[in-house]
């Protein structure tokens, strides 16, 4: 690998959707530090600073060379005073003192621990921290705390679902979902999306898109799949959300809003015997099974390309795709649709390539979207 910028250096875009970002990260020492800072700002509800560090990390991840001096970052976008100060520390001392302080901070450590539970977000974690709770046993012993169904499952399956899901496990789950879908309708299709579609070897969950060729049948399809999984004894947890999709609505460029398609957040039981090479979870392998987090989304067929794009991620890539559409093209993009504000019309797409083309962007492969 090259370690210095080739000359002349091609300009790096401020938008992740105009960069190709593979899983090969030559600047991990910096991006890992930025991730800690971003998370810390997230815990402090400082969205601006959080995003600034996520953007900076994303720019460095896209470089085919390692940054060896501050001078090499001169022409890079999205790197402010603060990020450069952190990089300087890392370059000279091999570590950032600011990051070290965060990592040893009790509040940060506790919020990190609490948010690692399925169903616990930063707000709940903060509430528990303010009550003086510091460990899982503190939470489980506190009778005044009410855990919702999601959080109860989160604690129940904590060991399994906090362990990464392997590619082999994801492919085995695809066969299981495929089987459940085809028992219902042979015409329906299942696609692996999320991090695994971007080529990752491990993930925190497995994401699938399911679709049926008949418009309007997608809600029913998802309910039938859930029913099939339940009858096979594989369903450990299910949070089903019916569609609230409204095709007349303009796309919402704000990335925070999740989509309105029918979807479900599941915890499934995966048998060791179903996975080539066995389970990734060591305890699970001796037990014969493990719990895995699975997300299913079911858009109507004419919105398939938009849903696939959104659910393929990465989050930073999708955020920038929307920001680019709005700022550079006066278009609104989300997981449902693309709207041209100049022409005042919706732009249809049947593939991801159509969406990139509408936006006047070069096509970026899923494995190049690891921004």
Active site residues: 205, 207, 295
- Could you give the angle at the alpha carbon of 190 between the alpha carbons of 318 and 216, nearest 5°? 85
Q: Which of 105, 126, 107, 125 is nearest to 116 (CA)?
A: 125
Contact mark string toward Mn ion, 281..300, x via CB under 5 A:
--------------x-----
Tell which phi-psi region holds residue 132, choosing left (phi > 0), alpha (psi between -120 and 50) or beta.
left
Closest CB to Mn ion among residues 263, 303: 263
Name which of ligand 8DG, Mn ion, none residue 84 binds, using a CB cut-off of 5 to 8 Å depending on partner kind.
Answer: none
Closest CB to Mn ion among residues 207, 320: 207
Least distance to Mn ion, CB of residue 239, Å: 12
Least distance to Mn ion, CB of residue 293, Å: 7
Closest CB to Mn ion among residues 73, 316: 316
Instruction: Say how many residues touch Mn ion, by CB under 5 A.
Output: 6
Q: Among residue numbers 192 through 231, which ones bind Mn ion (CB under 5 A)?
A: 194-195, 203, 205, 207
Contact between 366 and Mn ion per CB under 5 A? no
Name which of ligand 8DG, Mn ion, none residue 228 binds, using a CB cut-off of 5 to 8 Å depending on partner kind.
Answer: none
Residues lying near ligand 8DG in the complex (CB under 6 A) are found at 194-195, 200, 203-205, 207, 258-259, 295, 310-311, 313-315, 318, 335
Residue 55 CB partners (closer than 8 Å, separation 6+): 14, 78, 316
- What would the two tokens of residue 132 be? 């003086």
Judged by CB under 5 A, the stretch of 18-26, 115-123, 191-199, 345-353 that binds Mn ion is: 191-199
Closest CB to ligand 8DG among residues 38, 90: 38
Residue 187 CB partners (closer than 8 Å, separation 6+): 212, 213, 214
Name which of ligand 8DG, Mn ion, none residue 166 binds, using a CB cut-off of 5 to 8 Å depending on partner kind.
Answer: none
Any bridge partners for residue 297, and if so which? 209, 263
Residues of the chain by 3-state class (helix, strand, coil), percent to 5: 50, 15, 40
Q: In this structure, are residues 188 and 182 in contact, taking their beta carbons and an 8 Å threshold?
A: yes
Closest CB to Mn ion among residues 197, 217: 197
Least distance to Mn ion, CB of residue 200, Å: 8
Least distance to ligand 8DG, CB of residue 174, Å: 14
Helical packing angle, 28-43 and 122-130, nearest 10°: 60
Least distance to ligand 8DG, CB of residue 21, Å: 13
Alpha-carbon span 319 to 47, nearest angstrom: 14
Q: In this structure, are residues 264 and 296 in contact, taking their beta carbons and an 8 Å threshold?
A: yes
Residue 41 CB partners (closer than 8 Å, separation 6+): 47, 49, 50, 53
Please give the residue ranges that form the binding site for Mn ion (CB under 5 A): 194-195, 203, 205, 207, 295
């Amino acid at each position: 690998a090259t370690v210095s910028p080739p000359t002349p250096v091609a300009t790096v875009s401020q938008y992740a959707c105009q960069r190709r970002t593979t899983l090969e990260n030559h600047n991990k020492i910096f991006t890992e530090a930025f991730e800690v800072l971003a998370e810390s700002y997230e815990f402090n509800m400082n969205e601006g600073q959080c995003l600034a560090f996520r953007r900076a990390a994303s720019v460095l991840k896209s470089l085919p060379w390692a940054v060896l001096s501050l001078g090499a970052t001169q022409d890079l976008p999205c790197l402010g005073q603060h990020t450069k100060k952190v990089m300087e520390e890392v370059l000279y001392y091999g570590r950032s003192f600011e990051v070290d302080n965060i990592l040893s901070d009790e509040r940060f450590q506790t919020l990190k621990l609490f948010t690692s539970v399925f169903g616990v977000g930063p707000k709940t974690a903060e509430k528990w921290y303010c009550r003086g709770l510091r460990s899982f046993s503190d939470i489980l012993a506190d009778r005044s705390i009410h855990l919702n169904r999601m959080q109860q499952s989160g604690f129940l399956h904590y060991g399994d679902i906090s362990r990464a899901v392997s590619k082999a496990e994801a492919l085995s789950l695809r066969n299981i979902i495929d089987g459940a879908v085809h028992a219902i309708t042979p015409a329906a299709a299942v696609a692996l999306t999320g991090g695994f579609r971007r080529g990752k070897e491990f993930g925190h969950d497995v994401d699938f898109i399911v679709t049926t060729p008949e418009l309007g049948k997608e809600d029913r399809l998802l309910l039938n799949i859930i029913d099939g999984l339940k009858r096979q004894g594989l369903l450990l947890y299910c949070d089903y959300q019916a569609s609230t999709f409204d095709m007349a609505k303009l796309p919402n460029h704000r990335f925070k809003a999740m989509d309105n398609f029918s979807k479900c957040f599941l915890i499934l039981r995966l048998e060791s015997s179903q996975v080539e090479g066995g389970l990734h979870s060591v305890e699970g392998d001796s037990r014969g099974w493990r719990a895995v987090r699975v997300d299913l989304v079911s858009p109507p067929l004419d919105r398939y390309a938009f849903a696939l794009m959104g659910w393929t991620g990465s989050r930073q890539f999708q955020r920038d795709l929307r920001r680019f559409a709005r700022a550079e093209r006066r278009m609104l993009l989300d997981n449902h649709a693309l709207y041209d504000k100049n022409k005042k019309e919706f732009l249809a797409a049947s593939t991801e390539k159509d969406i990139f083309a509408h936006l006047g962007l070069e096509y970026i492969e899923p494995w190049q979207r690891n921004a």
